Structure 1
Amino acid sequence: MSGFSSDEGRTVRREAERVVNEVAQGLRTLDDGTACFSALPPVGREAVLHEVAGYPMQAHITAADGREGVARSGVKPRANPSVMIYTDPPRYGFASLPADEHVKAFRVHVSMSSVADTRRRAAHCKGTCGHSWHNLPTSPGEMPYRLVRRPG
């Protein structure tokens, strides 16, 4: 992760986790999350895509989740990130895509993860969930989230 210290990289990854969950829970729009992601330098965007790569597996995505996520993302179905989700099994190596595909990859990934996570929260975590990422504060004053940009 050239260009970020380990502390900066850890901060970006932790904050990326929060924004993905905020989008999934309707506390932030996909466009707002994408704007935060887009504001990062290329090395930051790549770090975020590496970080979120495991989220679909944690949410146990289905083929239907992938299709609905692509539809919600605003990314064309034939774009590389969309095609990667449509494969069986889906491929999540979005960070290995060219830098000009990273924003599309983020939109597809977050949208697909949102669909799967919403389904999982409703089916498996309803009223009994102890996952901190499923219990985010809903007050705007409690969400000082921003992705960190390296100066310069």
Structure 2
Amino acid sequence: MTEQTSDDGRTLRRETERVVNEIAQGLRTLDTGVSWFSDLAPTRQQTVLQEVAGYAMQAHITAADGRAGVARSGVKPTANPSIMICMDLPRHGFAGLPSAEHVNAFQVLVSVFAVADTRRRETYCKGACGHAWHNLPAAAAQP
């Protein structure tokens, strides 16, 4: 068993940030994001889930964002990740879900983040945004 180095961790965080923001901005499909996530080792999936949950919380998701994101994700509203994200004060701990639920958790988290981040880009950041991740070039799009 090999340990993840800090350089590997930084690389994974940057890649996660890029993939998630490309999905949120329609530069990458959710399906290609899920494929990328599915190819990760289980421990890396847990790390990504923690990162994406953090992005969602930083985007100040609401219960309405949760419901809209779940509908967009294609995950059943009764699945654990769906229930967790739709609670008034969304629950944390997605990385602690059984590994069989990690893909669903990723789909839900990314979809909810996309809803909340789009709302924020269209309101708080409209026309005066200095966030580099809100202004990704279309050329960076991945299939």
- Aligned position for 2:20: 20
- Aligned position for 2:111: 111
Range with greater deviation from structure 2 (80-89 or 3-12): 3-12
Q: Deviations over 1:41-80 (max 9, x none)?
A: 1011111111122112211111110000000001001111
SS of corresponding position for 2:123: helix
Distance 2:62 2:80 in 1: 19
- Aligned position for 1:86: 86
Q: Deviations over 1:60-109 (max 9, x none)?
A: 11111000000000100111100101222111311011111100000000
- Aligned position for 2:123: 123
RMSD: 1.3
Asked if 2 retains the 8 angstrom alpha-carbon contact of 1:3 and 1:43, the reply is no
Distance 1:42 1:51 in 2: 14
TM-score, structure 2 as length reference:
0.93
Q: What residue ranges of structure 2 are gaps of 5+ in the alignment?
A: none
Identity rate, percent: 67
Q: What residue ranges of structure 1 are gaps of 5+ in the alignment?
A: 146-152
**Aligned partner of 2:39: which letter?**
A
Distance 1:92 1:20 in 2: 18
**Aligned partner of 2:50: which letter?**
H
**Aligned partner of 1:137: which letter?**
P
